[in-house]
Structure 1
């Protein structure tokens, strides 16, 4: 299943459940929660509706997210609309993803930014700024806006990996985590 298919399926499931959350915001929240506690149940990422109808989708999203976060090749990717969507929609989704991620980090109230390395604290500060991102009319027409957006997504992707690696205890042995079924 492609990123686009997952995004669309989650978007439809959230709408049917009556949630006001977006797929990106939900994935961001889940990812932030998993950075603090990788055993976190995924239903907690949807806080405005009963998530029982979304259980299967959220379980799958959790597994895909953890696989990316634990992957030694750093394959984690934020769940965002595909490149066929308007740039404005993608920028808004990225901002909501970042807001969700920050919420997920602080969800349990035991996130201590002061305990982070300077580099990771800077990433958290940057994600805070990105959560306010929006596209202006001038930027929507600029050729460089697409490249800028791609760079921001890559920054978020790598930054989240760094946050995850710093917050999660080190694994022993060559295997980073057990295979999930």
Structure 2
């Protein structure tokens, strides 16, 4: 199995700028994960056009940062070892940049999830609540007053979102797949 490691944030910035995509890596990863978690039809060549809702976009360059983003994200979401991680600026970046990246990630997730799952996805009560929490985070206007406390809170919220995404993926992708196998 290929490496399930997400590409570097800076590498994605450069590739997206080269494509004039006008989207930050955090938001794109959120959109991709939302689309995958919502059960959207996808493959390695068409995912970028589908997530960006632009059928004229070309497939990402093979083994480029976008291609590796797709590969790692699909593998992580399918992993039975709960390897899924969010693509955010690294810990060395200011907490404000990482927090804003998390809010953008959540906005992207909601858009991708809605695109794939539609208006009434088959969600458990826990998933409904998790989706609502992601929406509240996406609508947040964060203030940063205590970098140490803010960094700890960011880690907690990131972990919550990571688990919420796996729950949503389970409801919309893994559950239906399992039911089809039983029938």
Equivalent runs, 1:81-120 vs 2, <5 Å? 81-108=89-116, 110-113=118-121, 115-120=122-127
Deviations 1:98-122 (A, max 9, x none): 0000000111462414x31111101
Contact in 2 for aligned 1:20/1:48 (Cα 8 Å): no
Deviations 1:41-81 (A, max 9, x none): 32122357964374433332111011111111110001111
Whether 1:126 and 2:133 are equivalent positions in the alignment is: yes
Contact in 1 for aligned 2:40/2:116 (Cα 8 Å): no
Structure 1 residues 80 and 50: CA distance shift in structure 2, 3 A: farther
Structure 1 residues 50 and 58: CA distance shift in structure 2, 3 A: farther
TM-score by length of 2: 0.81
> How far 1:143 sits from its partner (Å)?
2.4
Count of equivalent residues:
168
Partner residue, 2:67? 59
Structure 1, unaligned stretches of length 5 or more? Answer: 173-181
2:8 aligned counterpart, secondary structure: helix
Structure number with greater CO (CA < 8 Å, separation at least 6) is: 2
Contact in 1 for aligned 2:95/2:147 (Cα 8 Å): no
1:89 aligned counterpart, secondary structure: helix
Whether 1:168 and 2:176 are equivalent positions in the alignment is: no
Using the TM superposition, name which of 6-15 and 49-58 deviates more: 49-58
Contact in 1 for aligned 2:26/2:101 (Cα 8 Å): yes
TM-score by length of 1: 0.82
d(CA) in 2 for partners of 1:160 and 1:142?
26
> How far 1:164 sits from its partner (Å)?
0.2
d(CA) in 1 for partners of 2:93 and 2:76?
24
CA RMSD of aligned residues (A): 2.3
> How far 1:166 sits from its partner (Å)?
0.8
